[in-house]
């Protein structure tokens, strides 16, 4: 029986060329799987047909936009996931979902090999292959760009030789990955980290320096889930889509950073994530209002570790699953409303309210109505500082040893 290769298919040059190339190298039939995670651009049916025209025996398109929003972006909101305190995990969140559908296609079509278009320098090879190892360790993996030293020049020559129905004449100077959660741009002149980004790089956001009126938005959360915008009920997908539009129109969510890749090198990336930045900003502030101090302090460490695990391709790991359970429990009281002003590239919190609020006006005020018993503070301060006081006295007695 002829083997079958399930290929993660984007519709671009590299994965289109991979279809006949994999068939030649392995003798297997190729199944192309394209997963719609809100990347926009071409019609997915056009992409499906292109895969067939390039020689795939089957071509499947999965509309996973709602699944991506609810099952992957939403957990990132609740975990305030920002790698290196800045990056909203644009590419990292989509890879485990694509892996899940690749495995499903392998079972459906009898695939024994899976393939992706990642190089050996990036993070995505890890995300794909570690995920595949967790969900379907019996599947063999081939990465043509990495395993066969497949360069773009070779890909273009191969496409022309085979007469593949793809445009190889126009070459973007950038490598771009985008989805509902954001957009990542790298390579080209950006590889010189002294070069400033130019406006042509951006697609999800307008120039924040352009004069315009501010946009005020109220986001309602229920147990950490955004459920309404300005009083209108929304799904997670609709919430992200709407805030991509409104925050993007104000230039919110632009990032230019040098980050630490998992493979050990530093990489310069330019990101746009307007909806992600707005939602995480609002969610963090609501947590400040509704989560008790020690739980909040501990959760900040959990959030950081959660983001690192996802960035590092460990979505299906036991630790990630355990942290998911912690985050789920910590969200029980994260319900209420946050008001943001979107303007000049920033999402600024200007108001917050919640039935589950731990903010007590009587305790906080310095004016009439103060209910805080200040007479308790003197003894508290003395006991709180007692260990440090005793250690300092010991050090003085021993001559600072």
Query: Per the annotation, does 267 bind a ligand?
Result: no
Query: Per the annotation, does 192 bind a ligand?
Result: no
**Do residues 270 and 336 lie in contact, with contact meaning Cβ atoms separated by under 8 Å?**
no
Dihedral sign, CA of 318, 287, 299, 262? Answer: positive
Query: Per the annotation, does 119 bind a ligand?
Result: yes
Active site residue 14: yes
Query: Per the annotation, does 55 bind a ligand?
Result: no
Query: Per the annotation, does 271 bind a ligand?
Result: yes
Element spanning 106, H or E = helix 90-109
- Active-site residue, from 4, 14, 94, 246: 14
Query: Per the annotation, does 72 bind a ligand?
Result: no
Query: Per the annotation, does 344 bind a ligand?
Result: no
What region does 155 belong to: left with phi over 0, alpha with psi -120 to 50, or beta? alpha
Residues contacting residue 194 through CB under 8 Å, at least 6 positions apart: none
Distance CA 96, CA 305 (A): 17
- Active-site residue, from 175, 317, 354, 357: 175
- Active-site residue, from 48, 65, 78, 95: 95
Query: Per the annotation, does 371 bind a ligand?
Result: no
Query: Per the annotation, does 22 bind a ligand?
Result: no
- Active-site residue, from 4, 91, 124, 268: 124
Q: How many C-beta atoms lie closer than 10 Å to residue 81's C-beta? A: 25
The CA-atom distances, in angstroms, between 295 and each of 133, 320, 332 are: 34, 18, 12
SS3 31: strand
Active site residue 375: no
Query: Per the annotation, does 307 bind a ligand?
Result: no
Query: Per the annotation, does 16 bind a ligand?
Result: yes
Residues contacting residue 368 through CB under 8 Å, at least 6 positions apart: none
Query: Per the annotation, does 9 bind a ligand?
Result: yes
Could you tell me how far CA 278 lies from the centroid of its own chain?
A: 14
The CA-atom distances, in angstroms, between 40 and each of 31, 59, 84, 121 are: 22, 19, 27, 26
Active site residue 175: yes
Query: Per the annotation, does 87 bind a ligand?
Result: yes
Active site residue 357: no
Binding-site residues for L-aspartate, in ranges, read 119, 123-124
Report the binding-site residues for L-citrulline.
87, 123, 127, 175, 259, 271
Binding-site residue set: 8-16, 87, 117, 119, 123-124, 127, 175, 259, 271
Residue ranges of the annotated binding site for ATP are 8-16, 117
Catalytic residue numbers read 14, 95, 124, 175
């Amino acid at each position: 029986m002829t083997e079958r290769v399930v290929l993660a298919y984007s519709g671009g040059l590299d994965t289109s060329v991979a279809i006949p190339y994999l068939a030649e190298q392995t003798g297997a039939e190729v199944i192309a799987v394209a997963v719609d995670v809100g990347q926009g651009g071409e019609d997915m049916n056009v992409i499906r047909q292109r895969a067939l025209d390039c020689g795939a025996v089957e071509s499947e398109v999965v509309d996973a936009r709602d699944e991506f929003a609810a099952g992957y972006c939403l957990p990132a909101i609740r975990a305030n996931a920002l790698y290196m305190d800045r990056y909203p995990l644009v590419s990292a969140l989509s890879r485990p979902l694509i892996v899940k559908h690749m495995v499903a296609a392998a079972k459906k079509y009898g695939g024994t090999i899976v393939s992706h278009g990642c190089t050996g320098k990036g993070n995505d090879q890890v995300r794909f292959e570690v995920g595949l190892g967790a969900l379907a360790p019996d599947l063999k993996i081939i990465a043509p760009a990495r395993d066969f030293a497949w360069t773009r020049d070779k890909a273009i020559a191969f496409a022309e030789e085979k007469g593949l129905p793809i445009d190889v004449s126009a070459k973007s100077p950038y490598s771009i990955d985008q989805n509902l959660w954001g957009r990542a741009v790298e390579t080209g002149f950006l590889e010189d980290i002294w070069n400033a980004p130019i406006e042509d790089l951006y697609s999800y956001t307008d120039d924040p320096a352009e004069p315009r009126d501010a946009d005020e938005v109220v986001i309602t959360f229920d147990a950490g889930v955004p459920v309404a915008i300005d009083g209108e009920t929304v799904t997670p997908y609709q919430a992200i889509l709407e805030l991509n539009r409104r925050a993007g129109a104000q230039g919110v969510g632009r990032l230019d950073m040098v980050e630490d890749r998992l493979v050990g090198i530093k990489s310069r990336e330019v990101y746009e994530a307007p909806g992600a930045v707005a939602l995480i900003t609002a969610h963090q502030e609501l947590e400040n209002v509704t989560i008790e101090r020690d739980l909040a302090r501990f959760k900040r460490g959990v959030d950081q570790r959660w983001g690192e695990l996802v960035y590092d391709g460990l979505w299906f790991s036991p630790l990630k699953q355990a942290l998911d359970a912690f985050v789920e429990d910590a969200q029980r009281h994260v319900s209420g409303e946050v008001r943001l002003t979107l303007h000049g590239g920033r999402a600024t919190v200007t108001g917050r309210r919640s039935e589950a609020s731990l903010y007590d006006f009587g305790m906080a005020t310095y004016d009439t109505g103060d209910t805080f018993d200040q007479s308790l503070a003197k003894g508290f301060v003395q006991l709180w500082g007692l260990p440090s006081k005793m250690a300092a006295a010991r050090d003085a007695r021993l001559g600072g040893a």
